[in-house]
């Protein structure tokens, strides 16, 4: 099965930025920004992968993976990303939670297949 939604990551350890958010109503430029941020994140040094989903109620979780906390700090400080963060605070999100975590173990499974 083609599973483009899943990040293919190296063996741990690495770092996860876990971002959960409740969208406000209306697009207001959000979709284009979200697409651009994924593109921009993927171009950052130390970026490893990203997984993202949002339900019909506007509640979403995005997990971006990086090699080190230094790479995460650099991504946070990226100028274009900072503009998007400001718009997120101001307009796009009712509420969000951001958690930085060190991934220590990982497992994977494809149905009726072997673990990778």
The one segment of 28-36, 39-47, 95-103 that binds its own copies by CB under 8 A: 95-103
Question: Taking CB under 8 A as the criterion, which residues in 36-75 touch its own copies?
Answer: 51-57, 59-61, 63, 69
In sequence order, the 6+-apart residues with CB closer than 8 A to the CB of 53 are: 5, 60, 61, 62
The one segment of 26-34, 38-46, 98-106 that binds its own copies by CB under 8 A: 98-106
The reply to whether 100 sits near its own copies by the rule CB under 8 A is yes
Neighbouring CB atoms inside 10 A of 69's CB total 13
Give min distance, CB of 9 to its own copies, in A: 8
**Are the CB atoms for 61 and 19 separated by under 8 Å?**
yes
Closer CB to its own copies, residue 41 or residue 63? 63
> Which residue matches tokens 């971002």?
19
Q: Exposed, middle or buried by CB within 10 Å (0-12, 13-18, 19+), for 78?
A: middle
Cα 80 from Cα 64, distance rounded (Å): 17
The reply to whether 83 sits near its own copies by the rule CB under 8 A is no
Interface residues toward its own copies, by CB under 8 A: 1, 3, 5-7, 12, 16, 18, 20, 22, 24, 51-57, 59-61, 63, 69, 89-91, 93-111
């Amino acid at each position: 099965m083609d599973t483009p939604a899943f990040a293919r990551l190296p063996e741990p350890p690495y770092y996860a930025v876990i971002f959960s958010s409740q969208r406000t109503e209306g697009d207001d430029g959000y979709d284009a920004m979200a697409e651009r941020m994924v593109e921009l994140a993927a171009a950052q040094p130390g970026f490893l992968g990203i997984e993202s989903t949002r339900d019909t109620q506007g509640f979403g979780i995005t997990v971006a993976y990086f090699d080190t906390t230094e790479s995460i700090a650099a991504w946070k400080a990226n100028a274009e990303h900072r503009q998007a963060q400001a718009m997120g605070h101001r307009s796009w999100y009712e509420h969000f939670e951001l958690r930085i975590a060190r991934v220590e173990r990982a497992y994977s499974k494809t149905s009726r297949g072997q673990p990778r």
